[in-house]
Amino acid sequence: MSLMDEENGVDGVGDSAGELDEALRDYRLSVHAWSEAAYGRARTAAAAAAPNWRLAAGWALGCVLIAGGASAGVWGHHRQEMKAAAARVAEHERLAAEQRMQLAREEDEDLLARVDSDVAREVPSALEPLAQLMAADESRYERNQKKSSSSSF
């Protein structure tokens, strides 16, 4: 039902259609008035959130401290391991040097013993068979001397 029906003389329907049109017109006017009032009133603009540099700096500093602490711990452990390895190498070298000195001492003692036996020898090795014969003759001579001295008493 529209305004045309009202003009055409539709009975009873024209009054209600006119009321409906009037109600819709009033509603439209109130919506337009409310919109203009809403757009026209002063509004405060929300300030854009500034980046919180303190929070970011705090996190960065915390990360740096954790990384520094961890790397210091790893470095300290590495230093201790290197000292222990150096001590093991030094001990090994000391033992090897002791063994070399012991071998050299034994070789020197063997050489001195050979020299001593060569120097202490009464007869050179080339004349040794002759010396043995002479020793055998001396022992026979001494036995004969003992026999003769025991028979003279």
Q: Domain locations in the chain?
A: 1-34, 87-121
**DSSP state at residue 47:** P
Nearest CA-CA partner of 82 in 70, 96, 74: 74
Specify the DSSP class assigned to residue 127: G
Amino acid at position 121, single letter: R
Residue 141 tokens, joined: 């001579």
Instruction: Report the pLDDT value the prediction gives residue 140, as an integer from 0 to 100.
Output: 76
Angle at 121 between CA 120 and CA 124, to 5 degrees: 140
Cβ atoms < 10 Å from Cβ of 1: 13
Task: Please tell me the pTM assigned to this model.
Answer: 0.37
* Per-residue model confidence (pLDDT) at position 104: 95
Predicted local distance difference test score (pLDDT) of residue 1 = 45
List average pLDDT for each run of 10 residues in the chain, which is 153 residues long.
Answer: 51 72 93 89 76 88 94 93 95 96 94 84 72 77 73 57
